Amino acid sequence: MIYHLIYNYRQTDQINKDILLLLQHQQVYTASHRQTARGAHFVLTQRGPPNLP
């Protein structure tokens, strides 16, 4: 499942990077973002369950 998280205001790149690191650290989502004219657009892709041995 893919979630789109859109901020309709501008944020600094550092804040965006911090958000990405937080999301990735939780190991729930892979995340990417791009700056748009309206602000930051985050794309969160939900990961599957961890592989069990």
From CA 40, how far away is CA 43, in angstroms rounded? Answer: 10
pLDDT at 41: 72
Domain spans, the chain = 2-46
Could you identify the residue written with the tokens 């650290």? 25
pLDDT tens for each residue of 3-51: 555 554 455 666 767 777 776 665 555 566 676 666 667 676 666 655 5
Could you identify the residue written with the tokens 């979630």? 3
pLDDT at 1: 53
From CA 45, how far away is CA 33, in angstroms rounded? Answer: 11
